[in-house]
Amino acid sequence: MDKKATWDRFYTESSSRTATFKNFEWFFSFDTVRDFIMPLLQTKSHPDALLQVLDMGCGTSSLGPSIYRHSTLPCRVTCADISPVAVRLMQEHVRTEAIQPLNLSSQLEFVELDCTQLHKRYSSGTLDLIVDKGTTDALVRSKEGRGKASVVLKQCLKALRVSGSLLQFSDEDPDARLLWLETEAREQGVVAADVAVQEVGELRGVCYYCYQITPRAVG
């Protein structure tokens, strides 16, 4: 679940099943999760700056493009994935679709990026919002277990502004995920973080949650 080749194969096969491109949602579409996301994009950290949003492990989901489309404040939405196949499919899709954002200053981009290397692209305190729909779940379920997910969480907390948030949409039970998040957040040297959870809903008998992690300055 954390291997580039596995995901490349997955997106190659799913795109070959239909003649025209169709977004693939691992679970839930934008409409189900929008009320968790859009209220976090109501205030700008700097008057002149674009809100910086990262959809981490975007796959071919419509989540990032929908945030770009519906944000009233100007934002730059970066949709990043380890799979170049997913990135190319999305780049081609938005080129043909020509999505119009509510705010004409908003920007949308797709990049190939291994989220364990987030620090190579983002300096500390530069992102306003990171959304992760199923990506940490994929890392947690890899052979290495939580090791890689912990590296990613640490980098997300570094890359976020103090006022920013990381939203993890996941089917992992709060008993396990909250304990892990709270332990990891306590272990951060420079920043600590507040952790909260809300239920999103059920899909095919599985309950999904939204974990919100907000860094706070310590000292």
Ligand X SMILES: C[S@@+](CC[C@H](N)C(=O)[O-])C[C@H]1O[C@@H](n2cnc3c(N)ncnc32)[C@H](O)[C@@H]1O
Structure tokens at 43: 């205030």
> Would you say 169 and 209 are in contact if contact means Cβ atoms under 8 Å apart?
yes
Of 115 and 219, the one with the shorter C-beta distance to ligand X is: 115
| Separation of alpha carbons 141 and 125, rounded Å | 28
Of 1 and 192, the one with the shorter C-beta distance to ligand X is: 1
Q: Please, what is the minimum distance in Å from the beta carbon of residue 203 to ligand X?
A: 12
Of 68 and 103, the one with the shorter C-beta distance to ligand X is: 68
Residue with tokens 């952790």: 195
Q: How many C-beta neighbours within 10 Å does residue 73 have?
A: 15
Cβ burial of 70 (10 Å; 0-12, 13-18, 19+) is middle
Q: Please, what is the minimum distance in Å from the beta carbon of residue 26 to ligand X?
A: 3
Q: Please, what is the minimum distance in Å from the beta carbon of residue 64 to ligand X?
A: 9
Of 37 and 86, the one with the shorter C-beta distance to ligand X is: 86
Residue numbers at the binding site for ligand X (CB under 6 A): 2, 7, 24-26, 57-59, 61, 81-83, 86, 113-116, 133-135, 138
Structure tokens at 64: 């990032």
